[in-house]
Amino acid sequence: MALDADATLGEAGEFGLISELVKLFPGDEHVLVGPGDDAAVLRIKHGHVVVSTDLMVEGRHFRRDWASAEDVGHRAAAQNLSDINAMGGTARHLTIGLAAPADLPVAWALDLARGFAAECASVGATVVGGDITRADEVVIAVTVLGQCLQSPVLRSGAQPGDVLALTGRQGWAAGGLAVLGRGFRSPRALVEAYRRPEPPYAAGQVAAGAGATSLIDVSDGLLAEAGHLAGASGVAIDVRRDAFEVPEPLQAVGAALGADPLQFILGGGDDHSLLATFPDVASVPDGWQVVGEVRAGEGVTVDGAAYDGPTGWTHF
């Protein structure tokens, strides 16, 4: 029986909603058992299995008045798909858990699922299961499984003498968040970048094939992620300001807020660009931009000195 278009989760019930959600998540040839049983069963033929989990909490990671349910679905999928990309792998299958108030409209949950499914389909990944429960606020929990045909690229392989390179849009989502936080909706390009990131999904495998020595996705902030590479590898990383061209929308927001627009690039996350180290400039693939270098030592500097601006998002 089809659900009423205006039904809430409390009226539909767990299994009523699940019956509608399952229709939105088709399987593929690797799925032996999909949604509907106690667990999914998958077939992996070659390479390494890579797994990641992320949470999104309403009021902390998203607001329903800032983004549509489909936008939230795209964002929830993108941040997980990007984690597999950052290992040099390809995302294959995901599970999604939804905790929500009983008065949340079913239509919102279905739109969330549509956005999630559309983002997954953009890389050929499918949803194979999940869970639903009641909560005081919306919480989305996602686990993604992917495949690396070669050895995964870790955060811990950078060496002194390597170059640091970036690919993908960077700083746009942070600019959009700053705009929304002040009650505005323009520049629209930045707001849309926050609502629906565009990770460079093909770039992780390209980096791995080009011999990247370390790799990470920029989810919390470029300098913060560079710090993770430096810490895991036991090296120092220096980032160059002059490597970045600040796009006009970020210049406009910086001028309006009285802020250095470069702070959105250096400290912004949620675009899910990729940051990697390569042995030398010649090994950096097309589409990547050299933005710094790896040195002996520890920590991250900007133009050889400590940076006193925001370096990224902190969860606590």
- Annotated binding residues for ATP: 130-131, 155, 219
Q: Which residues are annotated as a binding site for Mg(2+)?
A: 38, 52-54, 83, 131, 217, 220
Rounded CA-CA distance 63/66 in Å is 5
| Amino acid at the residue 40 | A
Residue 123 and residue 202: Cα distance in Å, rounded?
Answer: 9
Binding residues: 38, 52-54, 61, 83, 130-131, 155, 217, 219-220, 270, 313
* Residues annotated within a binding site for substrate: 61, 270, 313
With tokens 């998002």, the residue in question is 313
Beta-strand ranges (E) seen in the chain are 31-33, 41-42, 48-57, 90-100, 126-134, 139-148, 163-167, 214-218, 236-239, 273-278, 289-295, 299-302
DSSP states of 69-138 as a string? HHHHHHHHHHHHHHHHHTTT-EEEEEEEEEEE-TTSBHHHHHHHHHHHHHHHHTTT-EEEEEEEEE-SS-
Q: Can you tell me the distance from the alpha carbon of 57 to that of 33, in angstroms, rounded to the nearest whole number?
A: 29
